[in-house]
Each structure stands twice: as C-alpha cells, then as structure tokens.
Structure 1
Amino acid sequence: MSKRGLRVLVVDDEQDYCNVMKVILTAKGHHTDVASTGAAALSLMEQGGYDLVISDLMMPEMDGRQLLHEIKSLYPGTEVIMMTAYGSIENAVEAMRDGAYSYVTKGGNPEELIREIGKLQDMLSLKLENQLLKEKVSVVDAMLESNNPAFQGTLSIARKAAVSDSNILILGESGTGKEVFARYIHQNSSRSKRQFMDLNCHAIAETVLESELFGHEKGSFTGALNKRIGRIEAADQGTLFLDEIGDIPLSMQAKLLKTIENKKIYRMGGNEEIEVDFRLVTATNKDLELEIEEGRFREDFYYRISTITINIPPLRKRKEDLPLLIDYFFKRSQNEMKKPIRKIDSHVTDFLLTYHYPGNIRELKNIIERLVVLSENGIVDTDSLPVSGREDKRKQAVVLDRGLREIRKEAEREYIQSMLLKNNNNMSRTAEMLGITRRQLFNKIAEYQLDK
C-alpha cells in the first residue's frame, strides 16, 4: 500500500517557524495547517481531524505537554510529535510517557523530523490496511444486527443458502445493503477463506465489462499492454459477486450463462481453456421478470442465477432497527473524521427516527456523515440536517392547524413523487412497488399534478 499524505497541524508561538515548516511539509505531500497557540490548535482540531500534531514543547499560556493532554483526551487517534530545545530532553521523554509519538530537536536538521513522519506514515498505512480488512467484517456484523422479524427471516434464509453452493440472486431497492448480504453469504460459506471478488456492472461498456470479467491477453485489443486476470478467474475457489446484474447486455448474459454451465472461460484474445470453480451471487434493484417480458433479460440466464432468491426489505419496513444503525454510523463517522460528538439535538434524533429513507441504509449513512462533518463544538443541531429535515421541523408547527385528509394527501403526493424519481419514472415498477395498478397511478399523477 502506497503512503498517503498526512493531515498535519504545526503548533509553535514563532510564526516564522510555522511558515517554514508548512512549506517543507507541503512539499512532502502533507496537508499542513499552523497555529501559534495551543488554544488556536484545539479550535482548528474541532473543525476537522488531523493525523499528526507537531508541537513546540515550550509555549506561553498552554505549553506542549498541556496541549498533548488535551489532544489525547479529545482526539486519541491523533499522534503528537514534540519539538524541544537542546536543554529540554528530559521534558520530551516525559511527554512520550504521556502519549507523544516521538520528539525531535527544534532547530536541527529537518530531515530528522521527516524521518519520524515517514515512520509514522508506515505505521498508519499498515494500521489502515488492517482496519479496512476488519471493517469489511464489522460493517457486515453491524448492518445485519436486527430486531425486525421479517429481516431476521431474510438473514435465516441467507445463512441456509450460504452452506450450499447454489447460485443466489439478491433483490432489493437501491441502498438496502445487497453487497453486505453477499459478503455475509461468503463469510458463512465453505469458501470463506478464499477470495471474494465483486464487480458493479452498472454503466460499464460491453468490451470493458468482458475484460473485467474474463480478463485478456497481451495485445488482444488496443491498449492491452499486459495480460490481465479477470474477476471470474480471480474468484476461483471463492465467491464472485456481480451487482446490478440487470444492467448487463444480452450478449454478455449469453457468455456468462455458458460460463456458469461449463465452469470454463477463455480470456479475451486467448485460446487457452481455463477451468474455474466459483460460487456466483448476483444482485439487482430491477424487476427481472418485467425485464424478461420487455426483452432486456434472458429467461434462461435468470433461472440459472436465481436458484435461491433473497428479498431484502427496505429500511422503512424495519424501523425498529433505526436506533442500532444510527448509533453505529455515528460512531463510525466520529472515528473516521476524528470529530467526537457530545450532544445531538432532540429534533435531529426525531427526524432520524421518523424519516422514510427512500435511499435506504445508504441515505442514512450519508445523512449522518453530513451531520458529523457540519457539527461544531461536538454538537449536532438541526441546521446540519438536509433541507427536507429542516422543512419537516417547520411543518411540525403548523400540522395541528390542518385537516387529517390534507396531511394524508400531501404525504401521499410526496411519496409517489419520490418513488417515481427512484424508479426513473418507470410506471409499471412504481405501480408494483406502491401496490396499485398502472391506471390508478396515472390517476394519482393527474390528481396531484406530478411531473413524470
């Protein structure tokens, strides 16, 4: 894994020294800010997370050790390097006992500091790599924890399906966590120690999709400078997850059907027959039976990929899981952004628990990330809500003055509009999801003067 530039904050009461350090560290690829006092440093840290703080030990008002204590208390994931004069080595050693990562001599060769930052980069890169591996498991665990009977039943089907080697089709609205389910199936299968290869097939040109799936030989087409192993071959002995399977062209469906039946592939431009053994899991938010009727999806391919079908309920039908998911995403966002949250406005909590989430779990995650990013002084308030959330709060003040029928009509209008938008104005799919006929949907659109 290549080293990434760090977010660095330099703290020193000598402004000229801060400016010099900013030039040096920026040239090394680090995003660098400066502060001339400990209080100013803490104020900057409230606005965004830093990987590293480089602080002078001796400063007026708040010295380096006091600043270190504050940082380790408020932002334990941020590392601190102390800069010390020649006569203060003992104090620097004490600072390391208090949690500083290292110390360097101020005024010495800046390469000493650069080396220490390089060591820290190596450590953080390894830490990030391990964290990403663990996070794939922890995200699955957290997002599949449920108090909803229907969702628990879906999980039970997934566990039973996992121990077989049957092809699995996962259905659900966009943002419901279909990839999470696919990883859960892989983790609970006999192939869990092998590779999990995934590919989102949405909006990929056919030639690119073929190369991604089957690989290619050197020189097989313009730009093919080297041999490439495709996802199918890389998934040998493991699991291949193809998301948005409803978007792949008919010709590619035929090639995949042949691969599923024969368990053999040819790389693009190659003559060598390669045997593959993989477990196929696919997912889509499309109505594949409707796609078959309209000639966009092969019926034989559909039956091959859907030996077992798993339907994931939308988030609005498992509201009892919202407290668990909200708590998880707040903790995750705080850790990732290094922005601790001390208080959440009660109106924000009410909105998060009552909103209908047309974008499902993905939308919930994005809203909470927004709330954490825009929080100030550890407080999440209504000003950080999306516009719809702030409007909902204003509407609460006038609800009592309006009739129940009017409120219901407005809610129905907004919901139908959101479903039309979600389904790209596909009338058949929208009507099916709403549980009404196409004619009834047309009547509603006319009644509410909706754009479609």
Structure 2
Amino acid sequence: MKINNRPFRVLVVDDEPDYREVLELMLKEAGCQIETAASAFEALDKLRKRSFDLVLTDLMMAGMDGIELLEKIRHEHGALKVIIITGYGTIENAVAAMKKGAYSYFIKGNDPDELIKVINNIKGGDMEVQEHSDKTAAPNDFPSFVLSTNNDQFRKVMDIAKRAAQSNVNILILGESGVGKEIFAQYIHQCSSRSAESFVPVHCQAFAEGLLESELFGHEKGAFTGAIERRKGRFEAAIGGTLFLDEVGDIPLSTQVKLLRAIENRRIERLGSNESIPVDFRLISATHKDLTQEIIDGNFREDFFYRLSTITIDIPPLRSRKEDLPILIDFFMKKSQKEHNIIVTNIEPAVRRFLLYYDYPGNIRELKNIIERLVVLSRDGVIYYGDLPEIKSDPRDEGQGNIIHLREMRRKVEANYIEKVLGTCNHNISEAARVLGISRRQLFNKITDYGIK
C-alpha cells in the first residue's frame, strides 16, 4: 500500500498493548508502515517529529482520550485523517468524534476486513461517501446524508449507481419500502450528463389506470370527460432529463404495453391525438415488489421487465447497514428538533439501545418517523423510553402481522444488546457489566432470565 511510491504510514494509538499488537500485525500484512503509541501524549510527540497518512486511535484511554487527541490533531495537523476505534458501548461518542472531524470509526470485535476497506478508500482518495463532517450533516441536506455510509455493501451499490449514471441505459431500482429508492434515483440523475435538466418523478401507485396514462402521455382537449384543455404529460416534461417511474410493479398490464412501445421508440402520442412526438429522456424505475414472481403470476410483462432492467440496482435494507445507524439517528434527531422547534437535552439510555438494535422493517422512513415521534413527545427536553411506539412485528418473523407488546419488544431489544456486549467483551461478565453500567449480579440475573448462552 503506497502513495506516490512511498509506504502508507499509519500511527496506531492504544493504551492496551495486546490490541496495539493485533492492529500492528494486521495493518502490516495489508502493506502499511506502522508506528505505535501507548498514549495520546506519545502520539502527539511522534506526529510532531514525522508525517503520517492516518491515525488510528482508541476512543477510551487514560490521561487524554481519543476525542481530545482528535481535536489536537485537527488543530495542529489540519487534514490528517483519524479513525476512531470504539466498543459497542461507546458508539455514540464515536459519532460525536465524527462530528468533530474524524474520518470514520471502527467497532472492536467487527470483521477486521471492514477496517482494511476503509483504509483502502483513504489511500485511494475516495472521500465521497465516507466523510461525515458538519457540512454533510446539515439538516436540509437530506438526500446526500441518507446516501452517506460506512457499510461496504451499500458502498458497492453506490459505486454501481454512479457508474451506471454515466451511460443512458434504463435502470431498475429494487428494495423494500422506505429504503430511499427515489433518493437513489435522484443521485443517479445528479451524477449523469442530464443533471442540469428536470428530474420528473411519477408515483404509479397513486393513479388509477386511465389517469396514469393521461399523466404520462398527456392529452388533447376533449380527449375524455373533464379534459377541458391540452395537457403535456410527464414524458414531455422529462425531455432532456430523467423520468422516474416509482412503484412500477403496480402499473396495469394494458398500460405496460403502451409504455413498452414508448420506451423502445422514444416517441409518444397524447391521448386523443395521432401526432407522434419524439421524447429524449433517461428512464429510471423502482419497485418494492418481486417482479420475477409478478411475471410468473401474470401481473407483469416479461418483455417490459427486460426493457426496464438493463441495469438492476438492489438497495440493501437498513438492518443490513446498522453501522450507519448512529449517524442517521443523530441526523434525524437534529432535523426533527429544528423542524418542530424543540430542544432535546437528554435521551434515556434504553431509547438509544432500542434505536441502535431494532431491525426497522420500514427502513429509513420508519427510523425517521420513530425519531420524529420521540422528539414531539419529549417532556422538559427529555426523550423517554415509554414514548416509543408499539412496534408491529417484522413480517419476516413468525406470526406475520401480529402486534408485539411493548414489554416483549423491550425484552427482545435488551436481550439482543446484552448478547452483543457479551460478544464484544469475549463473554467476560465483569467487563460486560461495567460496559452496561450495571452490577455483575444484575447482569447474571438478566442472562438467566433471557436464556442467553
């Protein structure tokens, strides 16, 4: 791993000798040149004597912690990149560090390859989806913020989308409801040569069959009852730009035939007219449905599917990118406070645990709604666990559609969290109890109560 024909130099800062040694061996194997420091003070001394490309520092250290070290590095060494190493119990502090300029964070106990991939991105100068500065987190910058990620799978999808945007091929975006398919479509449009022109969304599910055709193709005066004047459709509105058909899986078969012809020929006819109008547009479609099954069931034309899906992008659900949750939670908290003119000064720890480990079957949309509810219902600046909504069970679980009582949901969240902390602490009950902020006896009782092994 080299930059301008010199080794990529990393300073590892950790007051635990064993972990320092593990990081040193791992990063040397990845081709980095490593130096280590047992404290933040030693690290600052080394930084003054020679240059580094990256500082990898533990968050919790005696004397001077990782946050204070980060602040001093930012003050003395400008743009030098810093990655914070943290445990599950201090993720919130890692998020705070990123607000102060940390490049990313890595959770102890996670797959080391995740850290190597982040370092490879730094080495390659790929800052586009990694930085989470205050500018990135601006409350009015919702689309770009939701696309920011520390997740490798999501990053690959972003890369495919960016490369696909350079062409003019039809793109089909798949993903569960609430994952941000329209935001992704907007991102593709902004990355394309058509970005200066219109992005025209059409939510196909919202229109009845006849109305959808009129919305898309336009109509002439008198074409049908109520057509009192000529109206251009969305195809014409998108000329030069991008037409986004959302929930394309809900388009009736009869309309699919007409759309297929328009997409193939790039020509349309308004309802009530025989005039053929040329239309130059970029087509992006999206659906939460399994179109393969829809084809089998006779609800979707196979030829229409292949015309839409020259490139298919499958957006992972939020539960598959949980390392992004702390930053998304922080973003939506600030956004909701600003929109509702409410100041939150404290959040019960149980609320944070719930937000970090709930699976969000409704994805980004559900996360946003839950946080907005909590902010609105806060009292005297405090968000309470009792104000969490009663969550419906994930339809992927047994007993589809049943309501889980809040008490049961609390038990599930707490049990899952305890299991994660125990794993992080190598099942050392004393250490796990310290991280959780409870006594060893209390933790042992909970382990017995929840049947944790």
Give the TM-score band, short-chain normalised.
Answer: 0.5 to 0.7
Secondary structure of 2:148's match?
coil
Q: Which moved more, 1:382-391 or 1:353-362?
A: 382-391
Residue in 1 that maps onto 2:58: none
Alpha-carbon separation, structure 2, partners of 1:233 and 1:348: 48
Aligned partner of 1:328: which letter?
A: F
Match for residue 184 of structure 1 among 183, 187, 193: 187
Residue in 2 that maps onto 1:222: 225
Residue in 2 that maps onto 1:29: none
Match for residue 281 of structure 2 among 274, 278, 282: 278
Secondary structure of 2:219's match?
coil
Residue in 2 that maps onto 1:175: 178
1:323-334 alignment runs, 5 A limit:
323-334=326-337
Alpha-carbon separation, structure 1, partners of 2:139 and 2:324: 20
Secondary structure of 1:387's match?
coil
Secondary structure of 1:268's match?
coil
Deviation for aligned residue 1:326 = 0.6
Residue in 2 that maps onto 1:400: 447
Residue in 2 that maps onto 1:361: 364
Aligned partner of 1:338: which letter?
A: N
Please say if residues 148 and 318 of structure 1, whose CA atoms lie closer than 8 Å, have aligned partners that are also in contact. Answer: yes
Alpha-carbon separation, structure 1, partners of 2:335 and 2:172: 29
Deviation for aligned residue 1:204 = 2.3
Match for residue 193 of structure 1 among 178, 193, 196: 196
Deviations 1:353-410 (A, max 9, x none): 0001111111001001101111122211112211249423356498534464xx89xx
Matched, 1:347 2:347: no
Residue in 1 that maps onto 2:304: 301
Matched, 1:232 2:239: no
Under a length normalisation based on structure 2, what TM-score does the superposition of the two structures give? 0.58
Residue in 2 that maps onto 1:210: 213
Q: Closer, same or farther in 2 for the Cα pair 1:343/1:137, shift >3 Å? A: closer
Secondary structure of 1:241's match?
strand
1:9-408 alignment runs, 5 A limit:
138-388=141-391, 390-391=406-407, 392-393=409-410, 396=414, 400-402=447-449, 404=451
Deviation for aligned residue 1:331 = 1.2
Aligned partner of 1:227: which letter?
A: R
Deviation for aligned residue 1:221 = 0.8
Q: Closer, same or farther in 2 for the Cα pair 1:248/1:343, shift >3 Å? A: same
Deviation for aligned residue 1:301 = 0.8
Please say if residues 139 and 334 of structure 2, whose CA atoms lie closer than 8 Å, have aligned partners that are also in contact. Answer: no
Under a length normalisation based on structure 1, what TM-score does the superposition of the two structures give? 0.58
For these two proteins, the number of residue pairs brought into alignment is 273
Q: Which has the higher helix share?
A: 1
Larger radius of gyration: 1
Q: Closer, same or farther in 2 for the Cα pair 1:223/1:286, shift >3 Å? A: same
Q: Closer, same or farther in 2 for the Cα pair 1:298/1:136, shift >3 Å? A: farther
Deviation for aligned residue 1:324 = 1.3
Please say if residues 139 and 331 of structure 2, whose CA atoms lie closer than 8 Å, have aligned partners that are also in contact. Answer: no
1:403-422 alignment runs, 5 A limit:
404=451
The unaligned stretches of length 5 or more in structure 1 are: 1-134, 409-452
Secondary structure of 2:205's match?
coil
Please say if residues 382 and 390 of structure 1, whose CA atoms lie closer than 8 Å, have aligned partners that are also in contact. Answer: no
Deviations 1:21-56 (A, max 9, x none): xxxxxxxxxxxxxxxxxxxxxxxxxxxxxxxxxxxx
Residue in 1 that maps onto 2:76: none
Please say if residues 344 and 381 of structure 2, whose CA atoms lie closer than 8 Å, have aligned partners that are also in contact. Answer: yes
Aligned partner of 1:225: which letter?
A: I
Alpha-carbon separation, structure 2, partners of 1:399 and 1:214: 62
Please say if residues 214 and 268 of structure 1, whose CA atoms lie closer than 8 Å, have aligned partners that are also in contact. Answer: yes
Deviation for aligned residue 1:217 = 1.2
Residue in 2 that maps onto 1:24: none
Q: Determine what percentage of the aligned residue pairs are the same residue.
A: 58
Alpha-carbon separation, structure 2, partners of 1:158 and 1:259: 24
